[in-house]
Chain A
Amino acid sequence: TVWWNQSSALVLCMDVGFSMSNSAPGEEPPFELAKKVIQKFVQRQVFAETKDEMALVLFGTDSTKNPLEQDGQYQNITVHRNLMIPDFELLEEIANQIHPESQQADWLDALVVCMDLLKKQTEGKKYDRLVIVLLTDLCTQASPDELDIIIDNLKTAGITLQFFLPFPAGDDEEGGGDGDRGGSGHPGAGKGLSREQEQGLDMVKHVMLSLDEEDGLDEIYSFRNALEQLCMFKRIERRPTAWPCQLTIGSSLSIRIVGYKAVMDERLKKTWITVDAQTNKRDDVKRETVYCLDDDNETEVQKEDIIQGFRYGSDIVPFSKVDQDQMKYKHDGKCFAVLGFTKQSNIHRHQFIGNQVIKVFAPKDDEHAGVALSALIRALDELNMVAIVRYAYDRRCNPQVGAAFPCIKQHYECLMYIQLPFMEDLSHFTFPSLENKKFVPTEAQLSAVDSLIDSMMLVEKDESGEQKDMLKVHHIPNPAFQRHFQCLHHRAVNPGTPLPPMEPWLKAALERPEVISERCQAPLEEVKRKFPLTAVEKKKQLKTSAQIFGKDTGEPDAKKAKGDEEEEDYNLADIAEGSVTSVRSTAAVIVFIFFCLVVVTPVSFPVCQQLTHRIEQLLSNKNTHYYMKSITCIQAFREQSVKLGKADLYNSYLQSLKRSIPNRGLEVFWDLLVQGMISLFAQGFRIFPPPFSSLEMTCNFYAISAKEEVAAPTTEDTGDVDDLVCDLYFYLTALFWS
């Protein structure tokens, strides 16, 4: 029931006669439905960019325009468009030029016009299929005189017919498609047909059964049924290409094979091109790439002066394309060679690599190869083993290693090739065990999960004991493609209007089936009750300086509660406190260095160096936690320097640190440092005695009066770090004046 997967020529033949506009009140007239079917049909073809060609014939038209019209025959039939690849023009014509008209025409006559068109316009070209699609309400009396001749001609020409009628053709309407989704409720099914329609239907059935005794009636669809199945654009067409090769085992056993891609991660074929916004022309936009040296002047380098190189660790090795081609790994080309066989259990599904599955058959005209391959497939299947093979598509492509699995279906047998990883592709990570006391679920919790699983089972046995899968995701079209085409189509047909919302059916297709959603409500509530889940807002925020400095034992959550803002908004008081405690704190190693060495002996160069090293070490971790530690160190450094009256080392270190901030991307750290210093002023710590700088003293003075209003200063431009002292000065002056 796949309508046309291969290149075909197709005539859409639509009844636009006056009866098509008749409808019961509240129902869409058959004309509108038929038009929608045609629109969806053409849309699919346009976006699939198939090479299929399409013609459009209308009957019941007021005028007559067809090659067969003569002597009053074949009247009111119009060939609207000859056989060609469908495009947006056709879509627009269907939207704007096809209206209900006031005549009636014999649908069999129209069929003959279509056959004639197909015959003439396909002459000398090759098509896989010739199809005529007839959409009519069968209200016009058709003359059955030449029915048998028509059937004979259809048969000889190899033309397939499809009928779309406003009503279902038979008692059961499951016929068309796989009937996976939808397909229930057919308005109009019970409505009595007119005598003409009944006669017409009999003729249609007769024709269809004459063409195909078994499945002929399956090709009669109702408009509605067709619309439901057509709501998905045709899959992007990819015709499988054969890859002939030989499967080899050792040097003397080979089997002729043909490979086809069976599953493949499809991407959209087309990429976006860039156009000028004013003219919408691609040619108005030019992209130019220039090369320059990485020096201050950005000296431009001509393209001819550029050679290629590769990295070998820290070395860059010049390696020309020619040399590269000459020295690169070469192999004998196309191959499918068995390296050996292994148990299927040695192959782990999660280690499959690549993005495709290749099915390997014997060539269809070589039954000996068929038997040989069948022997291999069955042997592997019976032994539960796979072949490990070297696979190379051709000489230009690098070889891969992969597994060929046996696959035995009711109608065919094949090998399925899937690529396996190379050693270089794997990363072996160790994760903490989940058998941890803290995480092991209780029996009650496990049973809550059990009920959840029970309620959410997508595969169930129906009354007849057969398994029914409620959601076959491999039947759902890729929503990315659907949405993409929906938007493109909208923009093409309605330029200048905003893009439409996602189609409801597409949204629904991605959701839990409704039955499941309803059924799982109670078990979900139970899971919610049994498993407390608390989102840790931003884990870094919780680490206030109090925690960092190991002071969080006494007052556990008071500080944490405050830390709800951005992580940069460190609580200033905390930092200040931190600096005080740091002097006596146990945590930071800085204390060790300082108290053991500094306090005893005067600040000497090596000790300072140790300290600054330590700070640098901490700063190499870009993490607020380590920033806070560094700030503690710096503050201690300052404090101790002051105590010992040796400010120069501290000042020069701070200067050099400041210079390196932009290069090292430590702006956040610097902000924190500045804030920390400010809060020291604010709280009136007396740790800035005279020798530092007069500005700081000024600050100190102001700070005391600004005590209550300490808030985080927002540095607007972190890229340009201002002098610490100036920053403080401005901030505090501002406070003073406010």
Chain B
Amino acid sequence: MAEWNAYYRNEDDEEEQEEGEQSGEYKVTGRDSLVFLVDASKEMFIKEEDGKPSNFDMTMQVVRSVYTSKITSSYRDLVALVFYGTEQSKNPRNSFKHVYVYHDLDEPGAKRVQEVDELRGSKGAQLAAKTMGSGETSLGDALWCCANLYSDIKLRLSHKRLMIFTCRDDPHEGDSVKDRQGRTKASDLRDTGVIINLMHLMKPGGFDVSLYFRDIITPPEDESDLGLQLEPCAKLEDLQNRVRAKEKKKRVLNRLNLCLGEGINVAVGVYSTAVPARKPPPIKLYRETNEPVRSKTRVFHTQTGSLLLPSELKKAQVYGKKQIVMETDEVDSIKKFEDPGMFLIGFKPMEKLKLHHHVRPAVFLYPEEDDVKGSSCLFSALLKRCSERNMFALCRFTARRNYSPRFVALVPQEEESDEGKGQITPAGFNVIYLPFADDIRTLDAPQLPCASQEQVDKMKQIVTKLRFKYRSDAFENPAIQQHFRNLEALALDMVAPEDIEDLIMPKVDQIDTRLGPLVQEFKDLVYPANYNPETKPAAKRKTADNGGGAEKKPKVELPEDELRAHVQNSTLGKLTVPVLKDACKKFGVRTTGTKKQELIDALIAQLSS
């Protein structure tokens, strides 16, 4: 059993775990920043007849969800919320009229989430009317004000984005001076590296991007005018998806060459699209002041007490009672096979890619035209032909320096778009990590009778009753959600944390109702009358009949001579962890670790000396 546990991070041990070398690490190069510039004109507050939320309300919901998702996934990003077209003005030097900086650029926190919440719903609309009101519009001033927000930040920003939420395609209603000012300011902002996106919302008669906003926004990455073809967002879900797609910068894990052969290198970027989100590690605080403390680790000699330099240390492993010592740089050199890159081995038909050949989350590959000119064309040709011929490319992949190579399957993925609403899947290769022989275990499959067609058909009825359309973004992680709700409650002095809905809990009642008598019918077909799957089988699994002795009964103490015999014959590994722990206690062995190998090493060190 211990073995299973080893792979499940125990929540509490998380901080002790060494940084996983999983694919999800980025080099930190600066903070991302995002400014929501929201139109607060009267039009934004018009309620739809069918009870749908107003554009303003929808926007606030999106802002809130971005705030909370930033808190959960990337709290160091800076976010701001600015309204334009307001009656009241509020900005750092109050030099701009009709611009209301609700939140300036900062890390989102609990208070801000609450403040955005206050702007939601009909109460929110009232509050907005009271505090900000609706007034004149000058996009130029609004953008200028946002520019100041950026320049007031003394931190290094790696990615700057500004999203305009509006339902008015002609904000200045023909005032050409204001129009020009807006355009100038927008181009200033773009010049300083700010990417401006438009989140245009429903407007009676349709939203005409070409009327004005085409000159404001950052042109899309490709020339196909992707951004302009978009329909305005009518649904919250669409808006949320659109914002989510833009909100995060595509971060390349690394850029490297896909080498087809001598001198044929296609530059590619590796992106990770699905990485398990983890609860962030705890921070150590000083009890008196709650301020974070820093930790300093020193390595010194036990006897002399003098500090040890890295050159005075070596690395070692123990195998078969023998300590094998290496220099630190030798340890690194063992890991190194080749420089980072991808090397094409050959092609295989897709059916050769086995479903169960899964060892790690996949990554995504997209050409980097900026590194090697011509990459996109060759990449595109490979993609096209692989996709049409239903092939995958087999490659050897070294992700980073001093990483050992792995074999990967490059599976083609064609672009898919949703009737003008945006990209569902981008074109590129999904990189599927393939297992080595060591990763595949030999199992003894039990020989059991198969079901009859009648039994299968009954189960098919059950399966059909419980069909649903799976969407990968439908389930939230209850453990992480709970953690943040708890923090939220503590941060805001709430009495109790908000309840979370555990979305991965089976809806048992609904299932039962849907299935009705089918369950009993199925059980009658497969189970005999007296069979109860809930109870444990009568004969409890007995792993050792008797000879195993002490090792199966942790309560019984292991006699010293037996332990010594185990040490002598290197059979300590046969003992269970509790027995080993007991033995450590008994012989006064100091143990820092809890891993089996550490206990064994400690015992050997103690008893063989």
CA distance A259 to B257 in the complex (A): 40
Chain A interface bracket (under 10, 10 to 19, 20 to 34, 35 or more): 35 or more
Total A-B pairs, Cβ < 8 A: 769
Cβ-defined partner of B380 (8 Å) among A5, A422, A439: A439
Check A372 against B446 for contact (C-beta < 8 Å): no
Q: Which one of A89, A126, A263 has the greatest number of beta carbons of chain B within 10 Å?
A: A263
In chain B, positions 28-81 with a C-beta closer than 8 Å to chain A are: 29-30, 67, 69-73, 75
* A-B contacts, 12 listed (Cβ < 8 Å): A264-B439, A272-B315, A341-B467, A372-B522, A374-B449, A385-B467, A401-B504, A453-B385, A487-B334, A510-B405, A531-B377, A536-B371
Complex Cα–Cα for A126 and B548 (A): 7
- Asked if A261 is at the interface (CB within 8 A of a chain B CB), the reply is yes
Inter-subunit contact A620/B153 (CB<8 Å)? yes
A114 to B29, CA, bound (A): 66
B334 touching A533, Cβ below 8 Å: no
Q: Which of B109, B265, B285, B426 contacts A306 (CB 8 A)?
A: B285
Task: Indicate whether A11 reaches chain B with its CB closer than 8 angstroms.
Answer: no
Residue of B nearest to A388 (CB): B470
The answer to whether B376 and A436 touch across the interface, beta carbons within 8 angstroms, is: yes
A284 interface residue per 8 A CB criterion: yes
B381 within 8 Å of A by Cβ?
yes
Task: Please state if B466 and A340 are interface contacts (CB–CB under 8 Å).
Answer: yes
Q: Which residue in chain A gives the minimum CB-CB distance to B264?
A: A528
Main secondary structure of the interface of B (DSSP, over half): mixed
**Is B277 a contact partner of A291 (Cβ separation < 8 A)?**
no
Contacts A253-B519, A421-B274 given; does A285 touch B319 at CB 8 Å: no
Q: Shortest beta-carbon distance, B166 to chain A, in Å?
A: 21
Chain B min CB distance to A507 (Å): 9
- In contact, B527 and A250 (Cβ under 8 angstroms): no
Does B547 interact with chain A (Cβ within 8 Å)? Answer: yes
Q: Which of B446-494 contact A (CB under 8 A)?
A: 446-451, 455-460, 462-464, 466-484, 486-488, 490-491
Q: Does B413 contact A (CB under 8 A)?
A: yes
* Chain B residues within an 8 Å CB radius of A399: 478-479, 504
Q: CB-nearest residue of chain A relative to B431?
A: A350
A186 at the interface (CB under 8 A from B): no
Q: Which of B118-126, B135-143, B231-239, B357-365 contacts A (4 or more CB under 8 A)?
A: B357-365
| A-B residue pairs, 8 tightest by C-beta | A370-B448, A87-B320, A364-B446, A480-B404, A432-B222, A412-B445, A314-B107, A431-B426
B443 contacts the other chain (CB 8 A) = yes
Say yes or no: is A605 at the interface (Cβ < 8 Å to chain B): no
Is A283's CB under 8 angstroms from B415's CB?
no
Q: Is B348 in contact with A469, judged by CB distance below 8 angstroms?
A: yes
Pick the contact of B294: A294, A398, A469, A480 (CB < 8 A): A294
Q: Is A686 an interface residue (CB 8 A)?
A: no
Query: Which of B199-207, B299-307, B555-563, B580-588 forms contacts with chain A?
Result: B299-307
A498 to B287, CA, bound (A): 51
Rounded to whole angstroms, the CA-CA distance of A363 and B423 in the bound complex is 46
Indicate whether A240 sits within 8 Å of B192 (C-beta atoms), given known contacts A368-B531, A524-B264, A531-B378. Answer: no
CB of A120 closer than 8 Å to a CB of B: no
Q: Could you say which residues of chain A place their CB within 8 Å of the CB of B472?
A: 348, 351, 420-421, 423, 426
Q: Which of A236, A272, A409, A592 has the most CB of B within 10 A?
A: A272
The interface residues of chain A lying within 8 Å CB-to-CB of B405 are 479, 510
The reply to whether A411 and B331 contact each other, CB–CB distance below 8 Å, is: no
- B210 interfacial contact with A, CB 8 Å: no
Residue of B nearest to A246 (CB): B533
A263 and B373 contact, Cβ closer than 8 Å, known pairs A316-B283, A382-B460, A613-B151: no
Tell me the complex Cα distance, A438–B223, Å.
10
Chain B residue numbers with a CB within 8 Å of A416 are: 355-356
Whether A254 and B534, one on each chain, are in contact in the complex, defined by CB atoms closer than 8 angstroms, is: yes
Chain B residues whose CB sits within 8 angstroms of the CB of A352 once the complex forms: 358, 361-362
Partner of B504, one of A53, A339, A623, A660: A339
Q: Give A152 Cβ to nearest chain B Cβ, in Å.
A: 24
Q: Interface centre among B113, B297, B446, by most A CB within 10 Å?
A: B446
Cα–Cα, bound, A329→B503 (Å): 13
Cα(A334)–Cα(B373), bound, Å: 53
Binds B, one of A15-23, A43-51, A68-76, A702-710: A43-51
A372 to B445, CA, bound (A): 16
Which chain A positions have C-beta within 8 A of B12?
321, 325
On chain B, the residues within 8 Å of A280 by CB distance are 314, 316, 323, 325
Of residues 395 to 426 in A, which have CB atoms within 8 Å of B's CB atoms?
A: 396-401, 403, 405, 407, 409, 411-414, 416, 418, 420-426
Shortest Cβ distance from B275 into chain A, in angstroms? 6
A508: chain B residues at CB < 8 Å are none
- With A272-B331, A276-B308, A315-B110 known, 17 other A-B pairs at CB within 8 A are A254-B533, A276-B313, A291-B284, A306-B284, A307-B286, A319-B486, A340-B470, A359-B443, A369-B448, A411-B445, A421-B472, A424-B476, A436-B222, A438-B376, A441-B380, A449-B381, A524-B264
Q: With A and B bound together, what is the CA distance between A97 and B561 in angstroms?
A: 30
A190 adjacent to chain B (CB < 8 Å)? no
CA A399 to CA B488, docked complex, whole Å = 22
Tell whether, in the assembled complex, residue B311 and residue A277 are in contact, meaning their CB atoms are under 8 Å apart: yes
Task: Kindly specify which of A157-165, A208-216, A217-225, A454-462 makes contact with the partner chain.
Answer: A454-462
> Which of B2-10, B82-90, B167-175 makes up part of the contact surface?
B2-10
In the complex, whether A34 has a CB less than 8 A from a CB of chain B is no
B-contacting residues, A236-262, CB 8 Å: 236, 238-241, 243, 246, 248-256, 260-262
